[in-house]
Amino acid sequence: MASLIQVGLSSVLKKKLESFLFVWAMARNSISVEVKLMFTTFLRRMIPFLNSYHVIEIHEHHSEHMMRNKLYSLANAYLSDVCAHGANKQQAEVRSLSGRPFLTIAEEEEVVDTFHGAKLWWLASSCKSKYSTQSSNGEERFYRLTFLKKYRKLVEQEYLTHIFHEGREILARNRQRRLFTNIHSGGSGYSWTCVAFEHPATFDTLALDPATKRDVIEDLMSFREGKEYYKKIGKAWKRGYLLYGPPGTGKSTMIAAIANFLEYDVYDLELTTIKNNMELKKFFLETSSKSVIVVEDIDCSLNLTSKRVTKNKKDKDEAEAAPAATEGYDNVNTVTLSGLLNSIDGLWSACEDEKIIIFTTNHVEKLDPALIRRGRMDMHIEMSYCTFEAFKVFARNYLGIETHHLFSTIEKLLLEVNVSPADVAEALMSKSLRNADVEVCLANLVEVLNSAKEDMNK
Ligand SMILES: Nc1ncnc2c1ncn2[C@@H]1O[C@H](COP(=O)(O)OP(=O)(O)OP(=O)(O)O)[C@@H](O)[C@H]1O
Ligand SMILES: [Mg+2]
């Protein structure tokens, strides 16, 4: 009965709307643009009631839980890039200080897209949210896509996929890269906090032996393009790097250069603030793909050099019971080496891949071999004291020179003393910042190297 009434109502409504459309078509040439726009929007909203149109709604969150609907973000990116110029009202945002202003469609605005001859109307709107999130204010945003029913197959099978791929590319192009840290994880539990990642280091500014630099760049390039290869060999798409060497040799700078080269986000994992293995795993699982996960000074972070928990079931049970027993005690750190290894290995198979994990240390000899074995840390990169080749990178970047009569003296001194690239950079910078000329800067460096030599001889 109810459906009969519905059918009756919709056919009456349909007839009325169709006569209205006819009158509208006759009158539209003689009325003002504003009135035309108002009526067009009204009509579009009524369209779903006509049997010949189909509607798809894309909500900001999944219907069953509070997770963000990725298709919403992709549609948002796509519409902002491709169609936003057609909206009468837009919203402007700046997502990064280095990026350009980003225009999105304002709420209750409608834009038109075309795809293989089909006309598609997109309405940006919001409704009362079923979920309560801190940022939503009880509102849930969504897009309503309306099109003629005859295009349903085209939309479902091709247009939505087109939105997905285009949206991904646009997001990758425009995205502000982020630096995450877990340092404020206390209180409400585990969560990453982030800021914009705008570190300027690149491989051009990194003072490193050219052969090592070339190897790292080649390795990164084959990793980035290796999706199919990793799939073929049945390996998760991840790569581990161990950077080791004395303080000030550029380990942290290298991480920034890697992230900039790959255009990935960075997750700086501070192990000492994590309560237990369980929490550690959750942090790992919450990292997204296209990211570099960093654990700096791994030898100092935890007692990772202790004997690893064996695969023996009894030992394993004991290790897993330990964190639970100490849960709730904030100062009790129960992250173990075995917990870290499990998180690393579990991570790659359990969630989105295309991740680089980097450990840094000043004392590679202190680390448990299990932590840095090949397969976990695929490439071990020694960051050493400043060589003449590394110095030439500084000379080019800081002073803009390729050669100088003091170069031979510096080359000789660098063979005799151990100074970190940080010391060399500092010696050149302290003078060049004050607009001193090349001669003064290099003489300053020679002085620093000579006094280091004297210290060594003493
Ligand atoms: N290889 C390098 N290339 C370019 N700059 C470098 C290099 N090494 C050091 N520097 C300069 O020295 C500073 C300190 O370097 P960085 O923090 O990368 O060293 P580190 O190896 O991470 O040291 P630590 O072991 O103490 O963490 C950087 O800000 C950078 O300016
Ligand atoms: Mg460092």
Q: Helix, strand, or coil here: 91?
A: strand
- β strands within 38-148, DSSP E: 53-59, 90-93, 102-105, 110-115, 118-128, 139-148
CA 248 to ligand 2 center in whole angstroms: 7
What's the confidence (pLDDT) of residue 62? Answer: 72
Same-domain pairing of 36 and 76? yes
In a domain, 8, yes or no: no
Smallest Cα–Cα separation from 343: which of 351, 67, 302?
Answer: 351
Same-domain pairing of 377 and 427? no
Residues within 5 Å of ion ligand 2, judged at the Cβ atom: 251-252
Same-domain pairing of 168 and 182? no
SS3 content of the chain, % helix, strand, coil (to 5): 50, 20, 35
CA 91 to ligand 1 center in whole angstroms: 41
CA 207 to ligand 1 center in whole angstroms: 9
pLDDT(382) > 50: yes
Ligand nearest to the CA of 243: 1
Same-domain pairing of 378 and 404? no
Lowest-confidence region among 123-132, 154-163, 242-251: 123-132
In a domain, 188, yes or no: yes
CA 445 to ligand 1 center in whole angstroms: 17
- The residue type of 410 is I
Please say whether the beta carbons of 289 and 354 come within 8 A: yes
Q: In this structure, what CATH number is given to the domain that contains residue 322?
A: 3.40.50.300
CA distances in angstroms from 56 to 13, 303, 347, listed in the order given: 21, 54, 35
225-249 burial, b at 16+ Cβ within 10 Å, e below that, comes to: ebeeebeeeeebbbbbbbbbbeebb
Same-domain pairing of 306 and 327? yes
In a domain, 5, yes or no: no
Same-domain pairing of 36 and 154? yes
Sign of CA dihedral 245, 360, 321, 330: positive
Please say whether the beta carbons of 82 and 176 come within 8 A: no
139-179 pLDDT, tens digit per residue, is: 788 999 999 999 999 999 999 999 999 998 888 777 778 89
Query: Pick from 108, 142, 174: which residue ends a domain?
Result: 174
Query: Pick from 174, 197, 221: which residue ends a domain?
Result: 174
Same-domain pairing of 169 and 186? no
**Counted domains in the chain:** 3
In a domain, 252, yes or no: yes
**Minimal-distance CA residue to ligand 1 atom 17:** 252
Higher-scoring residue by pLDDT: 44, 294: 294
ipTM higher than the 0.90 cut: yes
Give the H or E element holding residue 256.
helix 251-262
In a domain, 200, yes or no: yes
Query: Pick from 327, 354, 382: which residue ends a domain?
Result: 382
Three-state SS string across 394-436, please? HHHHHHCCCCCCCHHHHHHHHHHCCCCHHHHHHHHHHHHCCCC
Read off the pLDDT band of 395 (50, 70, 90). Answer: very high
Ligand 1 binding pocket, CB closer than 6 Å: 205-208, 247-253, 362, 383, 421-422, 425
Ligand nearest to the CA of 294: 2
Domain enclosing residue 400, as ranges: 388-457
Same-domain pairing of 193 and 265? yes
Same-domain pairing of 167 and 205? no
In a domain, 10, yes or no: no
In a domain, 301, yes or no: yes
CA 252 to ligand 2 center in whole angstroms: 4
> Mutation test of ligand 1: which of 212, 213, 244, 253 has the most ligand atoms closer than 8 Å to its C-beta?
253
What's the confidence (pLDDT) of residue 319? Answer: 41
In a domain, 6, yes or no: no
User: Between vectors from CA 315 to CA 313 and to CA 317, what angle results, nearest 5°?
Assistant: 65
Work out which ligand 1 atom sits closest to the CA atom of 206.
Answer: 3
Query: Mean pLDDT throughout 84-99?
Result: 72
Parallel/antiparallel/unpaired status of strands 265-268 and 139-148: unpaired
Same-domain pairing of 227 and 81? no
249-277 pLDDT, tens digit per residue, is: 999 999 999 999 999 999 999 988 888 88
Same-domain pairing of 118 and 187? no
What's the confidence (pLDDT) of residue 95? Answer: 62
Q: Is the whole-model pTM more than 0.90?
A: no
What's the confidence (pLDDT) of residue 12? Answer: 52
Please say whether the beta carbons of 299 and 363 come within 8 A: yes
> Mutation test of ligand 1: which of 205, 216, 249 has the most ligand atoms closer than 8 Å to its C-beta?
249
Same-domain pairing of 338 and 217? yes
CA 193 to ligand 2 center in whole angstroms: 20
Separation of alpha carbons 338 and 346, rounded Å: 12
313-352 pLDDT, tens digit per residue, is: 444 444 444 443 333 333 445 788 888 888 877 655 455 6
